[in-house]
Structure 1
Amino acid sequence: MNKFILFLLFGFLFHIANSQVTYETIESSKLGDTREIKIQLPRNYDPEGNILYPLVVVLDGDYLFEPVIGNADYHSYWGDMPRSIVVGVNQAQKRDVDLSFSGTTYFPSDEGGSQFFEFIGMELIPYINENYLTSNFRIVVGHDQSANFINYWLFKDKPLFRGYIAFSPDLSPEMVNRLQEKLSITTEDTFYYLATADNDIKGLRDDILACNAALSAIENEKLHYRFDDFKDADHYSLVGLGIPKAINEIFGLYKPINKKEYNEKVLTYEDGPFAYLIKKYEDIEFFYGFEKKVVENDLRAILAATKKKDDIESMKSLAKLTQKEYPKSMISSYYSGIYHEMNGNARKALIEYQSGLLLKESEFVNKDMLLDKIYDLQE
């Protein structure tokens, strides 16, 4: 029964994701040919809006695009990652040429690899940036040969991507040494995810394990690295296991406050709960290059911490923040009322709760909660 439900769930997610996919063909002077791409835009995407979205570029888009967009749609729905624009590059007909590297330098070859390298950086991404609302936070995903190829963009003076997801890469000679050297000195926050499995292709697995040993030894606070070695999986099934792991790693800071973060960070933060909230969102903007609206889950966590610590100053600041972020929601009146209660002003608290009855309910604050507060104060 559980497997059946899981099957239906992923079928539903695939249907949702697939319904938003558009296919476009790009004329490429670098390739001397056309190339088909797949694009999934986020839910409720507004081309006239001012929200900028991270860009996820998926190589081997013929088969890798669909599992990525299903996971992206699912995780963004629950707020575990930002809504993102995902672009898949179809390569089935030209894969070996696209991903070829020189037998002497081990960098993209002049027989196709260099042209594909330039196509992505000089044509595809500028095209997407020009036609869609993209931020500067970009992720690239690859599998097997393409998982090796994504590393070449890391070696540019200004790397093209901030996040690299490599599923069972077929590593070229010298790649491990080059990765270790580059990631040891990177000065920009870089997210790197690497995965293999116990039933992976043996030659690839041995090299990947050696690569993990080298990357794990790096001491650089700017490198955010995760490695997974999946059990009971092979060269192909590891992809389905790795995508959510990679998303969780790259967007760990972006995710709403959970119980572990609440206990270990919010409650222990020296400058108080509200200061922690502000720092978290400043860090999100710094790491990812875009602002995140303060979500209600995080407001609830900070509210709980301020009440637990009886931190009136944090509560005052929290009430002001809710009024700014959610002026038409019951949240603003509810939090303002709690502040006045904590400050010993029941009359003002009552006024706030009563005024909130005219506002819109939120996910966690509704009319019954306000009425309970009103009745308690009136008694």
Structure 2
Amino acid sequence: MKYFLVVLFCFLASYNLQSQALLETIDSYKLEGKRELKIQLPRNYDSSAKRLYPLVIVLDGDYLFEPVAGNIDYQAYWEDIPDCIIVGVNQSTTRTDDFFYDEDTYFPAHDGAAFYEFVAAELVPYIEEKYNASDFRIIVGHDLSANFMNFFLFKDNPLFRAYIALSPDLAPMMSIRLKERLAIIEQETFYYMATADADVKVLRNAIIECDAQLKAIENKALRYKFDNFEDANHYSLVGRGIPKALNEIFALYKPISGKEYNEKILPFEGSPYDYLIEKYKDIEYFYGFEKKLIENDIRAIAAACNKKDDLESLEKLAKLVKNEFPDSMLSAYYMGMYYEKEGNLKRALQRYKSGLLLEPSQFIDKEIILEKMYETRDAMKN
């Protein structure tokens, strides 16, 4: 237990140093006052760059912002998910009014309607004008806010593409309305919901019933995931649900795994290079931003090229790497690999030598380049 607390303290200290939240105040015409925001920008965020980032809106930001921001920062560091712009809305003194819905229609009314309009017409435009946010938007809520966020689904063109509902306190008719709406939604939509064995009983029962409704939906545009955690309560399930939800939402974005390599790349009818290009095009289509080529995926595609003896695909990959990473040892390493496979050992050796003057990458360093040089020289002697 003591070791766990030390690790946790180190993680939180690191998080605080690397990703401290910005505190801003937005003037709201809809709410007739000011609202406090917590904003976390990606590491090395450059406002002048063209890169766009998914926008994550966190309701109940006074307590839910930190666990969401910490999870995103951690997973993005390891390239499992993209960097995101995270915005938390502080509601510690206003949440009952903010999430108010009419007792007859069960839709937002009075202060609840004003808060709905604030998010849609003021908050999101404010963030998109000030920061490099893409139109792939995620909304996160817990309890009352997890119910309220569903109202954004009922617009003709929903404001959000992904919904993370953590132990929602569902309004009457919400399960039926969700089923009807998600069954016909045309845009690719991600929906995650979670409860736990020790969740508030009345909430848990309604959530289980809602899950049964949503599981029956047959719609290729819907990506639905449900978790019913063991040994967790209404509050602790939040810490387990957030990373699971992010995993589901960004499944396509993730680096190529051993499973994807064996089950998708090797049986792929086209070339490994074609698979890589299609994967990155799909990421841009689904998420609305380009993913920078990562070394893990280069290694996987190169391995597939070698396994399939696909020299043409390996050449295309080497040229792509050279174009994307001209100052990295990666460019020399993969061009050298191509010429080596082609049988042109002299040019392969030249490429490997050129790598000594370049910057090391995550997996390719000077020792590996030298090793390839020695192997190539030995092969030229035989």
- TM-score normalised by the shorter chain: which range applies? over 0.9
- Tell me how far apart the structure 2 counterparts of residues 7 and 305 of structure 1 sit (CA, whole Å): 39
> How many pairs does the alignment contain?
377
> How does 1:1-379 map onto structure 2 within 5 Å?
2-16=3-17, 20-109=20-109, 111-379=110-378
Per-residue deviation at 1:20? 2.2
Secondary structure of 2:375's counterpart equals: helix
- Tell me how far apart the structure 2 counterparts of residues 240 and 221 of structure 1 sit (CA, whole Å): 29
Taking structure 2 as the reference length, the TM-score comes to 0.96
- Tell me how far apart the structure 2 counterparts of residues 106 and 361 of structure 1 sit (CA, whole Å): 59
- Tell me how far apart the structure 2 counterparts of residues 10 and 194 of structure 1 sit (CA, whole Å): 27
Taking structure 1 as the reference length, the TM-score comes to 0.97
Secondary structure of 1:357's counterpart equals: helix
- Tell me how far apart the structure 2 counterparts of residues 70 and 48 of structure 1 sit (CA, whole Å): 25
Cα-to-partner distance string for 1:255-292 (whole Å, 9 max, x where unaligned): 11111111111112111211111111011001100000
Q: Which moved more, 1:8-17 or 1:274-283?
A: 8-17
Per-residue deviation at 1:16? 3.4
Question: Would you say the 8 A contact 1:274–1:302 is kept in 2?
Answer: yes
Question: Would you say the 8 A contact 1:194–1:226 is kept in 2?
Answer: yes
Amino acid aligned to 2:281: E
- Segments of structure 1 that go 5 or more residues without pairing to the other structure are none
- Tell me how far apart the structure 2 counterparts of residues 193 and 10 of structure 1 sit (CA, whole Å): 26
Percentage identity across paired residues of the two chains:
58
- Tell me how far apart the structure 2 counterparts of residues 313 and 378 of structure 1 sit (CA, whole Å): 24
Secondary structure of 1:57's counterpart equals: strand
Cα-to-partner distance string for 1:214-253 (whole Å, 9 max, x where unaligned): 1111111111111000000000100001010011010111
- Tell me how far apart the structure 2 counterparts of residues 121 and 22 of structure 1 sit (CA, whole Å): 21
- Tell me how far apart the structure 2 counterparts of residues 47 and 318 of structure 1 sit (CA, whole Å): 31
Per-residue deviation at 1:119? 0.2
Q: Which moved more, 1:301-310 or 1:6-15?
A: 6-15
Amino acid aligned to 2:329: M
Distance of aligned partners of 1:155 and 1:277 in 2 relative to their CA distance in 1, 3 Å threshold: same
- Tell me how far apart the structure 1 counterparts of residues 201 and 10 of structure 2 sit (CA, whole Å): 33
Cα-to-partner distance string for 1:150-197 (whole Å, 9 max, x where unaligned): 000111011000010000001011111111111111111101000000
Per-residue deviation at 1:13? 4.4
Per-residue deviation at 1:300? 0.6
Cα-to-partner distance string for 1:286-321 (whole Å, 9 max, x where unaligned): 110000011001001111111122111110111111
Q: Which moved more, 1:348-357 or 1:116-125?
A: 348-357
Runs of 4+, deviation exceeding 4 Å: none
Secondary structure of 2:165's counterpart equals: strand
Question: Would you say the 8 A contact 1:13–1:70 is kept in 2?
Answer: no
Per-residue deviation at 1:373? 1.6
Amino acid aligned to 1:368: E
